[in-house]
Amino acid sequence: MNDNITESVDVVVVGAGVTGLYAVHKLRGLGYRVRGFERGADVGGVWYWNRYPGARCDVESLDYSYSFDEELQQGWDWSEKYAAQPEIMRYLDHVADRFELRRDYTFDTSVLSAELDEEALRWTVRTDGGEVVSARFCVFAVGCLSSAHRPSIPGADTFAGDTYHTGEWPHAGVDFSGLRVGVIGTGSSGIQSIPLIAEQATELTVFQRSANYSIPAGNSPIDAATLRELKAGYAERRRLARLSGGGSPFMTHPRKTLDVSEAERRDAFEKRWELGGVLYSKTFPDQLVDLAANDEARDFWEEKVRARIGDPAVADLLVPTDHPIGTKRIVTDSDYYETFNQEHVRLVGLRENPIERMDERGVLLADGTHVALDAVVFATGFDAMTGSLDRVAIRGRGGRLLTDDWRAGPRTYLGLGTDGFPNLFNLTGPGSPCVLANVILCAEQHVDWLADCLGHLDEHGYAAIEASGRAVEDWVTECRERAAGTLMMSADSWYLGANIPGKPRVFMPFVGGFGVYGEIIAEVAASGYKGFDLLPG
């Protein structure tokens, strides 16, 4: 054993978000010695960092919760249809306590590198806390939206006021009372926070590069009787969710958009609208593959939204014209569009009038307007799906860096593994459907698969498992071809890396749906892990 090694374990898990927590619980329960590392001071992952006002999940609470333990599922009472960040943090805190998950984690600690010892088929994991851990398996659960992106705006460092990023929000909160505030970015984080920031700020200027499709959450408290009824139906709810495309228990309309009468179509859109938010993108099965079908959904959306906005010129700016509905994640809002009816809220379209630079006092626009600001909120998103993995120097066979292998885009087999990196697993990341689905069920799907896989290795005396180069190439091709068969390629989305200058334009998720993906990975396991090489000790 290398002299520097401070500890030797079976599995290192990186990340204490919803995926990492379950990985630690499950693998520990099977008798593996597990060691977890987490950059934040506590559990929670994205919910630990994203404490901006209005932060709320766009998957219903009953679904966005673990299903692996019936007592946990029945014992936890969600207070709202769509839970806000503090309630989700309370839930994850409860899970961590209940299963004593913190005892195997070191917090406030980033993993700097993971290096393969090819002979021993073990990984050496180094942290910024000076730990050097030898592990047979290395499991990354670092999240897809966990590496904040701040655009480089000339002069930004000269701005005298405070700046914030929604994905790194101060734990003490921020009071915008009496301030002139600018929000840059109108994705989920911008759209959720803008109505609440507007309640405090004396003036709010929203800088919008691209308009987004947003749909009211239709959020409401869940009363005790409803909660009892919902929990009694949990088994069926979960069954349907596992079959579905998005990990929620809702099926698309059985027929195609244009095969039904206008009245039936409107009725279906209306019902989905009532469900709230992101589910609208799957009202009909052809909505994300056929532009004519998508136009119907889009027109219905536009009619609804324009009715909420007072000034038609502002509405023109707020209605997207650059991408079909659902090709970026539909935002789930509370009173977003109505916010622009207030006197002190102003919208700047950056396509027509870009930010030239920032100075000590605010933002200068291309048309010469100077917007005086006391605080700026960057709601500018993340280096999605690969950003957090890129921060770790992962060296596989021959000292190859994973970031070099992925320079032209992520290369995975089933999203789970890649060639040259035996016994290294990346959970709920690129090559999987997780960012397009309910990530908690995705986490369970991946971790359960992983647990079976490790069991298979031990049962048959294998030291390691490694995706074959051929399987990786085929999966990359399959993911690309499936995406090309949809409208998803027509939006400049973070699914495609389009929000990060210089990032390769590759559609990173598996677009075939959560249920279909679950069948594929189960079939691979049942076949004895075809596409993987099983390596003797």
- Give the integer Cα–Cα distance in Å for 198 and 489: 34
Rule CB under 6 A: say whether 210 interacts with ligand NA7: yes
Which of 56, 411 has the CB closer to ligand NA7?
56
Rule CB under 6 A: say whether 151 interacts with ligand NA7: yes
The tokens describing 501, both together, are: 């200058």
Residue 130 beta carbon to ligand NA7: minimum distance, rounded to whole angstroms: 33
Question: Per CB under 6 A, which region of 74-82, 98-106, 181-189, 525-533 contacts ligand NA7?
Answer: 181-189
Which of 329, 395 has the CB closer to ligand NA7?
329
Burial of 3 (C-beta count, 10 Å sphere; 0-12/13-18/19+): exposed
Edge-to-edge strands, sheet with 162-165: 162-165, 375-378, 180-184, 203-208, 345-349
What DSSP state is assigned to residue 490?
Answer: G
Q: Which residue is nearest to ligand NA7 (CB)?
A: 187
Which of 132, 350 has the CB closer to ligand NA7?
350
Residue 493 beta carbon to ligand NA7: minimum distance, rounded to whole angstroms: 8
Which of 49, 300 has the CB closer to ligand NA7?
49
Rule CB under 6 A: say whether 146 interacts with ligand NA7: no
- Give the integer Cα–Cα distance in Å for 56 and 79: 13
Q: Whose structure tokens read 């499936």?
A: 482
Question: Per CB under 6 A, which region of 168-176, 284-292, 377-385, 521-529 contacts ligand NA7?
Answer: 377-385
Binding mask 479-498 for ligand NA7 (x = CB under 6 A): ---------------x----
The tokens describing 513, both together, are: 């749906």
Name which of residues 459 to 478 contact ligand NA7 (CB under 6 A). none
Residue 272 beta carbon to ligand NA7: minimum distance, rounded to whole angstroms: 18
Residue 304 beta carbon to ligand NA7: minimum distance, rounded to whole angstroms: 21
Give the three-state DSSP class for 507: coil
- Give the integer Cα–Cα distance in Å for 419 and 412: 8
- Give the integer Cα–Cα distance in Å for 22 and 3: 32
Question: Per CB under 6 A, which region of 9-17, 123-131, 180-188, 451-459 contacts ligand NA7?
Answer: 180-188
The tokens describing 313, both together, are: 């010129």
Rule CB under 6 A: say whether 193 interacts with ligand NA7: no
- Give the integer Cα–Cα distance in Å for 2 and 221: 56
Q: Of 35, 329, 395, 446, which lies in the binding site for ligand NA7, with binding defined by CB under 6 A?
A: 329
Residue 171 beta carbon to ligand NA7: minimum distance, rounded to whole angstroms: 18
Closest CA to 204 of 375, 1, 325, 436: 375
Element holding 445 (H helix, E strand): helix 439-459
Q: Of 183, 499, 507, 529, which lies in the binding site for ligand NA7, with binding defined by CB under 6 A?
A: 499
Rule CB under 6 A: say whether 145 interacts with ligand NA7: yes
Residue 398 beta carbon to ligand NA7: minimum distance, rounded to whole angstroms: 35
Rule CB under 6 A: say whether 186 interacts with ligand NA7: yes
Rule CB under 6 A: say whether 123 interacts with ligand NA7: no
Rule CB under 6 A: say whether 187 interacts with ligand NA7: yes
- Give the integer Cα–Cα distance in Å for 252 and 254: 6
Residue 432 beta carbon to ligand NA7: minimum distance, rounded to whole angstroms: 15
Question: Per CB under 6 A, which region of 183-191, 240-248, 466-474, 520-528 contacts ligand NA7?
Answer: 183-191
Rule CB under 6 A: say whether 381 interacts with ligand NA7: yes
The size of the interface with ligand NA7 (CB under 6 A), counted in residues, is: 19
Rule CB under 6 A: say whether 189 interacts with ligand NA7: yes
- Give how far Cα 522 sits from Cα of 135, 244, 508, Å: 26, 16, 21
Which of 389, 437 has the CB closer to ligand NA7?
437
Question: Per CB under 6 A, which region of 187-195, 228-236, 404-412, 419-427 contacts ligand NA7?
Answer: 187-195
Residue 392 beta carbon to ligand NA7: minimum distance, rounded to whole angstroms: 22
Which of 420, 513 has the CB closer to ligand NA7?
513
Give the three-state DSSP class for 9: strand
What is the 3-state composition of the chain as percent helix, strand, coil, each rounded to the nearest 5? 35, 20, 45
- Give how far Cα 332 sits from Cα of 190, 297, 342, 378, Å: 11, 16, 20, 19
Residue 469 beta carbon to ligand NA7: minimum distance, rounded to whole angstroms: 32
Which of 89, 465 has the CB closer to ligand NA7?
89
Which of 189, 205 has the CB closer to ligand NA7?
189
- Give the integer Cα–Cα distance in Å for 280 and 287: 10
Q: What is the CA radius of gyration of the chain?
A: 23
Q: Of 55, 379, 394, 437, which lies in the binding site for ligand NA7, with binding defined by CB under 6 A?
A: 379
Which of 421, 507 has the CB closer to ligand NA7?
507
- Give the integer Cα–Cα distance in Å for 243 and 469: 30
Rule CB under 6 A: say whether 380 interacts with ligand NA7: yes
Rule CB under 6 A: say whether 350 interacts with ligand NA7: yes
- DSSP conformation letters of 251-296: PPPSS-GGGS-HHHHHHHHHHHHHH-GGGGGGSSTTTTT-HHHHHH
- Give the integer Cα–Cα distance in Å for 22 and 24: 5
| Cβ neighbours around 428 below 10 Å, total | 29
Residue 170 beta carbon to ligand NA7: minimum distance, rounded to whole angstroms: 16
List Cβ neighbours of 25 (8 Å cut-off, separation of 6 or more): 68, 99, 101
Tell me if 433 sits within 8 A of 513, measured CB to CB.
yes
Where on the chain is the footprint of ligand NA7 (CB under 6 A)?
145, 151, 166, 184-190, 209-210, 329, 350, 379-381, 494, 499
